[in-house]
Amino acid sequence: MADLALAPVIVILRGVTPETTLSVCKAIAAGGVRFIEVTLNSPKPLESIARAAKEFSGSGVHIGAGTVLSPEEVDAVAEAGGRYIISPNSDPSVIRRTRERGLISIPGFLTPTEAFMSVAAGADLLKCFPVGRMGPGYIKDLKAVLPVPVLAVGGVSASNAREFLASGACGVGVGSCVYRANRTSEEISEGATALIQACREEGQ
C-alpha cells in the first residue's frame, strides 16, 4: 500500500454494476485516485472486480473488495484478482485467510479492543469505521498506541479529509461524495480530484 502515501484516498463503489465498472473506475483514476474498492453487496461484485483488476493490471491503480465477511469470500476475491480485503468488522478468520492468500488485510474496528484483536490476527492496516461520528481527535488518540496504519472511513469528505490526515490517519475511505449511480463520469472524476487535492493540501 505504499502508493497510499502519494494519493491517500480509497474510493468505495457500493452498488456499482459490471456494465459500468470500467467507466466508473477510469473516471476515478483520472482524478488521481489509485485505490478503488468494490463492495461485495453490489450486484455481481466479483465480475466487477475481475473486469477492473484486468483493465488496471500494472497501471498503478489497485482494485480491492469491501464488505468482505467470510474466509470463503476472501478466496473468491483472490480468484477474481482483487489485491486487498476490507471489512466493516474485526474477524480473525477473515484476516488469517487474507494473509494466507497473499492479499492485504484491512479489517474494520471502532474500539481499541477490536483494533488490537485485528493486529494480533495479522492485519496490515486498520479501518476506523464509522469515524465521522468519533471525529479526528479519536484517530489521534488511537495512533498513540496502535502499531499499524489507520484509515479513516465513514463520514469523510473533501471538507474534512485533511483533518483526519492531520490527526494521523494514513488515508481516507470515501463513497457517495465521489461515486453515486446517477453521476456522470465527469462528476465522478471531479469528486475524486477534489478529494486528492484536499489531501495534498494537508501534506504541503
Active-site entry in 26, 37, 186, 202:
37
- Residue 16 has a CB neighbour count (10 Å cut-off) of 23
Would you list the DSSP string of 2-18? GGGGTS-EEEEESS--H
Q: Is 44 annotated as catalytic?
A: no
Cβ(76)–Cβ(92) below 8 Å: no
What CA–CA distance (Å, rounded) separates 8 from 154?
15
What CA–CA distance (Å, rounded) separates 112 from 90?
11
Q: Is 127 annotated as catalytic?
A: yes
153 bridge partner residues: 173
Active-site entry in 72, 100, 127, 163:
127
The answer for residues whose C-beta is within 8 angstroms of residue 147's C-beta and 6 or more apart is 119
Q: In what order do the strands lie in the sheet with 84-86?
A: 104-106, 84-86, 62-66, 35-39, 9-13, 171-174, 150-153, 126-128, 108-109
Catalogue the active-site residues. Answer: 37, 127
